[in-house]
A and B are shown apart, each in its own frame.
Chain A
Amino acid sequence: MQALSGDPKIYASSAAAFFAGARSAMTSVYVVVLIGTYIGLGALAHDVGLSSVWMMASTIIVWAGPAQLIIISAVGTGGSLIEVAIAVTLSAMRLFPMVVALLPMMRKPGTRLPEMLLPTHFTSISMWIESLRLLPYVAREHRIAYCNGLSSGYMGTAVVAGYVGYFLAAGLPPLLASILLFLTPLSFFLSTVNNARQVIEKIALVLGLILGPLLAYWQVGLDLLWTGVIGGSIAYAYGRYRRSAS
């Protein structure tokens, strides 16, 4: 873990910033989480009869655990192409506000659109949480390189873990499989708590934890979308109110 204090760090070159990002990926708790998650996904891909190369390709081009879980399990349990596509796109909506919140952190005057394509594709929950935490300590001109390094570290780890899981498949006992599956919600939960330092972030977090399961239980359509919009808007409105009151 690097010390999080002082002025934004200026690196000798973009390459140095990239490798600093990759190094911080390797020392973060998400490496353990990604290994656990992707061993599980790789094992599942094996069980439903997909190839190991397909598994690795899906990690690189989809790069979203929930979406990959939907596709791979649908091969096993059935479901039409259109049903799977809809389920994937509903699970992917979360990426939209994440990208909007993240990209302005790394852009500077003169940054061209093509430079933003890679960070856009790399956007995932783990990368987003870590980028929001670490980028303020990186000089603005090196943030894109740093973020690409961080994401490459994560993606490389996930690709390898998926491949390993594919060949471990047969020997994975149910209790171990459930422990691996529990890694994702547990680590995201604690990291989100850890990152929510402002009052409006804490409000959004608590409202999301309550509204998510409640709206799903009430079988409200697009429950996660509404959870985000309602919980986030209440928190945002409170922030506006506080700013105008002070």
Chain B
Amino acid sequence: MKEAMVSLGPYFVLILVGFLPNEVWRLVGLVMARGLNEESELVVWSRVVAIALLAGVIAKLILFSSGELAGVPTPVRIGAAVIAFAAFMAAKRSVFVGVLAGEVALFAGAAWYAA
């Protein structure tokens, strides 16, 4: 990648390996969605497939983290997510309160492990 960035130019590489392989799925969606309405079976199915896929992405990001987050022990990450969910429910489904509680729990857990 580093050599390609120099030889091909950083913006050409961005279009080649960033824009094109990413945008193609949006355009496939655009073509597939033509002529469909909200009650179409394909649209209902796509919606639940997208939810399941998204849930899979979320669970993987929490369980198999990368970057600096991988340095936080897995039980702390899972515990923080559970606490976030509990706070979210306790605060009448407030996403903001849940995220805040989860982040505080992650901070406390990581600091405790590091000590």
List chain A positions with a Cβ less than 8 A from chain B: 29, 32-33, 40, 44, 50-51, 54, 57-58, 61-62, 64, 66-69, 71, 73-75, 78-81, 84-86, 88-89, 91-105, 107, 113, 116-117, 120-121, 123, 125, 128, 132, 174-175, 177-179, 181-194, 196, 200-201, 203-213, 215-216, 223-225, 227-233, 235-236, 239
Q: Is the CB–CB distance between B57 and A212 below 8 Å?
A: yes
In the complex where A175-B107, A208-B59, A213-B60 touch, is A99 in contact with B14 (Cβ < 8 A)? no
Give Cα A232–Cα B41 distance, bound, in whole angstroms: 12
Q: Is the CB–CB distance between A71 and B17 below 8 Å?
A: yes
How many residue pairs between the two chains, A and B, have CB atoms under 8 Å in the bound complex? 305
Rounded to whole Å, the gap between the CB of A138 and the closest CB of chain B is 14
Interface mask (B20-48 → A, CB under 8 Å = 1, otherwise 0):
11111111111011101110101111111
Give Cα A181–Cα B37 distance, bound, in whole angstroms: 37
Interface mask (B48-69 → A, CB under 8 Å = 1, otherwise 0):
1111111111111111111111
Q: Is the CB–CB distance between B22 and A62 below 8 Å?
A: yes
In the complex where A61-B15, A89-B22, A224-B57 touch, is A100 in contact with B1 (Cβ < 8 A)? no
Question: Of A51, A81, A186, A204, which contacts B103 at CB under 8 A?
Answer: A186
Rounded to whole Å, the gap between the CB of B39 and the closest CB of chain A is 9
Rounded to whole Å, the gap between the CB of A125 and the closest CB of chain B is 7
Query: Is B71 an interface residue when CB atoms closer than 8 A count as contact?
Result: yes
Q: Is the CB–CB distance between B29 and A179 below 8 Å?
A: no
Which 8 pairs across A and B sit closest by C-beta, in order of nearness?
Answer: A212-B56, A99-B29, A208-B55, A228-B53, A231-B52, A232-B49, A227-B56, A208-B52
Give Cα A189–Cα B44 distance, bound, in whole angstroms: 21
In the complex where A57-B14, A185-B58, A232-B48 touch, is A103 in contact with B99 (Cβ < 8 A)? no
Q: Is the CB–CB distance between B95 and A93 below 8 Å?
A: no
List chain B positions with a Cβ less than 8 A from chain A: 1-2, 4-5, 10-11, 13-30, 32-34, 36-38, 40, 42-69, 71-72, 77, 80-81, 84-85, 88, 93, 95-96, 98-99, 102-103, 106-107, 110-111, 114
Decide if the interface of chain A is mainly helix, strand, loop or mixed: helix
A224: chain B residues at CB < 8 Å are 53, 56-57, 60
Give Cα A120–Cα B25 distance, bound, in whole angstroms: 10
Give Cα A166–Cα B95 distance, bound, in whole angstroms: 28
Q: Is the CB–CB distance between B54 and A192 below 8 Å?
A: yes
B28: chain A residues at CB < 8 Å are 96, 99
Q: Is the CB–CB distance between A29 and B96 below 8 Å?
A: yes
In the complex where A174-B71, A178-B106 touch, is A89 in contact with B21 (Cβ < 8 A)? yes
Give 12 new A-B contacts, CB below 8 A, not counting A66-B57, A104-B37, A185-B58: A68-B18, A98-B29, A113-B30, A120-B27, A120-B30, A178-B110, A182-B77, A185-B81, A201-B51, A205-B52, A227-B56, A228-B52
